Amino acid sequence: MSEYDVCVLGSFMKDLVASAERRPLPGETLHGTGFAEFLGGKGVNQAIAAARMGARTAIVGTIGEDRYGEEFLELLSANGVDASWVVRHPSLGTGVGLPLVLPDGGNSIIIVSRANAAITAADVDAATEALVASKVLSVQLELPVEASHSALRLASTAGATTILTPAPVGPVDPALAAYVDVLVPNEVEAAALTGLDCEDESQVPAIARKLAEDWDLRGCVVTLGARGAYVLDRDGGYEERIAAHQVATVDTVGAGDAFCGSLAASLAHDAPLIEAARLANAAGALSTTTNGAAASAPTHEAARSLLTLTTTQPGASPTVPPATNHPSTSRDTTQPGASADTSPAS
């Protein structure tokens, strides 16, 4: 039996979030309207989401030898995520993000990768024990491509199912793509990767098929924000559109990571892709009902309750809060699975 259900290779970002009425002009100083600190990064968010869905989870990444790094280790420990393979860089600090949030929820973000950018293929190779002992590996593109390629190769060769979130989106090395089983882009990423218009509902099936064929994938799940998700399973030979859940949205940050972490956990528990995506759709929706990203990742019980209630009572709008509340965030502002009853809070 595998030692872990899910292993995540990903980034650590301490977010220092300022709110203001507008963006400053060049050379201008503005009074802000708010400030908050959160722990985030897509890797951290996905690992915690998988753990809260009941998966035995490990994370591989790089942090600094600073107080932000200590905060991350405490967060991971509190959520039962094994951080044994997290490297602490002696001179580079933990990654930071500097988002500016406007009243309408729009944002501009500066990220400084710091220790995240220092992870090497050798660091990943040192974590081979975790990678080959996991049933599912989840990777994003916030880390150097050499590290991502090494992790995908090791896990795939060992027989793990590999998931890639192509964010931030950009050209993808074919050598890396060759080791991906399931691709999970949001609508912006899917459009960028195919050149097709994801806003056009009629194009969504063609986009999923093109990605699956071009990448030779086992499956592709395109998350569509408040429009739900589209699932294509080449192994199972089916496609399905998954409708959004009606929930009272307060914060869409990190919903995509909750979706991906939940998907990884379900696949590790041998669920078919369509069933995994349905539960992930519920998890993504629920995450929008609570502020923060990792903080908003729901438990398996909460996501299953929403999925069951929606199936038995179409149109229901339950409020099922996550069981834990640890402050965190990331730069993912999509909201897979959610159909907002209220506008997202800034």
Which residue, among 343, 337, 345, has the nearest Cα to 320 in the 3D structure? 337
- Residue 155 has φ and ψ, to the nearest 5°, of -70, -45
Residue with tokens 């998907």: 263
How far apart (Å, rounded) are the C-alpha atoms in residues 152 and 7?
11
Contact 39, 69 (CB under 8 A): no
- Specify which residues 161 forms β-bridges with: 136
Q: Are residues 126 and 85 in contact, defined by beta-carbon separation less than 8 angstroms? A: yes
What contacts 343, CB < 8 A, 6 or more positions away? 105, 249
Burial 72-90 (b: 16+ CB within 10 A, else e): beebbeebebbbebbbebe
For Cα atoms 345, 278, 153, give the angle at the middle one, nearest 5 degrees: 95
Residues 6 or more apart whose CB falls under 8 angstroms from that of 231 comprise 208, 219, 220, 221, 239, 240, 241, 242, 273, 274, 277
Residue 257 annotated in active site: yes
Backbone torsions φ then ψ of 186, nearest 5 degrees: -85, 180
In angstroms, the CA 69 to CA 49 distance is 19
Are the beta carbons of 255 and 298 closer than 8 angstroms? no
Q: Are 212 and 326 in contact (CB under 8 A)?
A: no
Q: How far apart are CA 332 and CA 328, in angstroms?
A: 12
- Which of 5, 15, 233, 257 does the annotation list as catalytic? 257
**Residues tagged active-site:** 257
